[in-house]
Amino acid sequence: MGIELTGTVLNLDAGTLYAFLLALARVSGIFVFVPLPGIKTGPEIARAVLALSLTLALAPRWPAVDATAVNVMLMTGWLLAEAAMGLAVGLAVSFLMEGFQLGAQIISLQAGYTFATTIDPTSGADSAVLLTIAQLAAGLLFFATGLDRQVLLALAQSLSTQVPGHLEISPAMVNRLIQAGASIFSTGFRLVLPLLSLLLMVEISLALLARLNAQLHILMLALPVKMLLALTLFGWLLLIFPRVFGQTSGQAIQLIRALLAP
């Protein structure tokens, strides 16, 4: 098959086209769950161009596909397997981000920040203020720590180690990905457990003070005190975000490499 461009004939055989589609399915699956800031609210054509550009950049690592041995059913199965692998890698990165959002959601609920919402730039939906701050901070750390480059490097290496079209999804791989979902809760509670303990102490202190002096309107002061305290300590927690993100991102990269390993 030849394509003529300004007098030049570009030869593109069916095997190369199949290899392009397999690589594109793996790359596109990653962008479904990777929580890049603003990627879901942007135009669809921008995401398509990004996936297409990365696929073309990985052209030297495209697999060699024998077009004569490929039929429609076989190609469909290969594409589904490649898309599933991309989704698994995207989920591994998404688990890392969701841990920070879970911690912020817990604090927002206890401190009363769920009464005020703002627009989430990632999903476009209403979200708590602290949750949005944590989500943006995690998204910036995704690039600041170089995790994006490590994901792309693992993806490029996987095209040679896990050749598209010969991918096998084992039950052990699925179980490991499911177990990685527990990191959402462990990361979230690690971040906010000191703040939760302090808010609990404040609640008990205010309850005892109201019990000792019933004439004081403690309930009117409880919410402002908790909100101010939570906001102050949450600002301090932001300083710890890079350290925790670096530790958990190492575990995420190990999971991604395990998923993409032969």
Give one DSSP letter per residue of 100-127, joined into a string: HHHHHHHHHHHHTGGGSEEE-TTT-SEE
User: How many CB atoms are located within 10 Å of the residue 262 CB?
Assistant: 10
Based on the structure, what is the number of domains in the chain?
Answer: 1
Distance CA 204, CA 208 (A): 6
pTM: 0.71
Q: For residue 5, what are the β-bridge partners?
A: 8
Q: How many helices (H) and strands (E) does the chain have?
A: 9, 4
Q: What is the pLDDT of residue 5?
A: 42
Confidence of residue 42 (pLDDT cuts 50, 70, 90): low
pLDDT at 1 over 70: no
Q: What is the pLDDT of residue 38?
A: 61
pLDDT at 224 over 60: yes
As a dihedral over the C-alpha atoms of residue 85, residue 89, residue 90, residue 91, rounded to 10 degrees, the angle is 100
pLDDT, one tens digit per residue, over 97-138 is 888 888 888 887 777 776 666 555 555 555 677 777 788 888
Distance CA 75, CA 14 (A): 12
109: closest CA among 123, 128, 95? 128
Give yes or no for a contact between 165 and 63, defined as CB atoms under 8 angstroms apart: yes
Q: What is the pLDDT of residue 176?
A: 77
Percent of the chain exceeding pLDDT 70 equals 80
In which domain, by residue range, is 16 found?
Answer: 2-260
pLDDT, one tens digit per residue, over 175-218 is 877 777 877 888 888 888 888 888 888 878 877 877 777 676 77
Distance CA 92, CA 99 (A): 12
Q: What is the average pLDDT score of the chain?
A: 76
Q: What is the pLDDT of residue 236?
A: 81
Q: What is the pLDDT of residue 119?
A: 58
- Burial (CB < 10 A; 0-12, 13-18, 19+), residue 64, is exposed
Distance CA 131, CA 76 (A): 39
pLDDT at 9 over 60: no
Percent of the chain exceeding pLDDT 90 equals 0
Q: What is the pLDDT of residue 10?
A: 47
Distance of CA 138 to the CA centre of its chain: 9
Distance CA 11, CA 56 (A): 16
